[in-house]
Amino acid sequence: MPREEQLAVLFADISGSTQMYETLGDVRARGIIARCLADMTEAAHRHGGTLVKTMGDEVMTTFPDPAAAAEAACDMQESITGQMVEGRPLAIRVGFHFGPALREEADVFGDAVNLAARLANQAKSGQILTSGATVAHLTGPRRKSCRQIDLTQVRGKREQIEIHEIVWRAEDATIMRAPWATEHRAGGRLVFTAGGTRLELGEGHPSLTIGRADQNDLVVRQPVVSRLHARIEYRNGRFVLTDLSANGTYVATDGGAETYVHRDNQELTGSGTLGLGEAVSPGSLTRVRFEPG
């Protein structure tokens, strides 16, 4: 029988693990990843956390309060990010959120889990992201190390979510000019077309997902496309693509150069074409067209 608890749910994953397998080979890469997962799990245990599960290059842990999760997140970063292994710099991305969750046997479900996963997906290498609601529960020096970096609409939420970064390295403590705090830029639409489907993104419909699975807004059924490949969000007048895939997303703007995004964010401007899991080419079946509405 599931029971509801107030939990801090934390996800952490290893940046660039796909390239690690390609350049180092399966055996060496798997050994490095296994060691990183063990280090992240030990850091969680040091701060009273519980390992829920590991998923490839990612760990999911829970904590009884957000302060413990924040300390564990910083401990994880300090243990791994910046290390050089096999001539490669290691880095992890962390996201966590404190709120109601359902615990059922050894697993955890619910709103806190979903939001924590989204924050981890949005984090960059070496970054820790959490929500404004979670920061409100922090006190002392750790709360002072938080800075708001965005205000965005999250799918399934009526209100916009404050996204905060926890600064765990002194050299990262730069002054933020808070672009999210400027006057709200209303308007703007971007239209996405894949196959016979056309969707419009803007204030009225602030996010969409693209992937191979049927539950996505835009479904592209090709083997190189991940089940949940990418999320695109309207954020205060900007359109931001977050790649969540195994093979990455290629962004080719009309008249511009093609860029590759993998487990990272990129703003979409003007018009162009996305290549899901492969470079953009005229005959590709993974093309998604975008242009102003």
Do 141 and 252 share a domain, yes or no? no
Q: Which domain holds residue 90?
A: 3-180
Task: Name 82's Cβ contacts closer than 8 Å, sequence gap at least 6.
Answer: 89, 90, 91, 126
Q: For residue 183, what are the CA distances in angstroms to 92, 176, 213?
A: 33, 16, 37
The CATH number assigned to the domain holding 267 equals: 2.60.200.20
Quick count: other Cβ atoms within 10 Å of Cβ 128? 28
Tokens of 60: 């999911």
The CATH number assigned to the domain holding 105 equals: 3.30.70.1230
Tokens of 225: 């496309």
Adjacent-strand bridge partners of 261: 249
Do 164 and 243 share a domain, yes or no? no
Is the pTM here over 0.85, yes or no?
A: no
- Rounded to an integer, the average pLDDT of 104-122 is 91
The pLDDT tens digits for 224-259 are: 999 889 989 887 788 999 888 889 999 999 988 899
Do 108 and 57 share a domain, yes or no? yes
Do 176 and 254 share a domain, yes or no? no
Q: What CA–CA distance (Å, rounded) separates 248 from 264? A: 9
- Tally the domains of the chain: 2
Any domain includes 155: yes
- Rounded to an integer, the average pLDDT of 265-271 is 91
Higher pLDDT among residues 186 and 23, named by residue: 23
Q: What angle do CA 208, 128, 147 make, to 5 degrees?
A: 95
Any domain includes 185: no
Do 131 and 270 share a domain, yes or no? no
Do 172 and 88 share a domain, yes or no? yes
Q: For residue 139, what are the CA distances in angstroms to 70, 95, 134, 136, 280?
A: 11, 19, 11, 8, 48
- Domain-terminating residue out of 160, 180, 200: 180
Do 195 and 174 share a domain, yes or no? no
- Domain-terminating residue out of 180, 211, 245: 180
DSSP 205: S
The pLDDT tens digits for 164-195 are: 999 987 555 444 444 444 444 445 899 999 98
How confident is the model at residue 174, as a pLDDT?
A: 45
Residues 245 and 277 sit within 8 Å (Cβ to Cβ): yes
Do 142 and 262 share a domain, yes or no? no
Do 152 and 98 share a domain, yes or no? yes
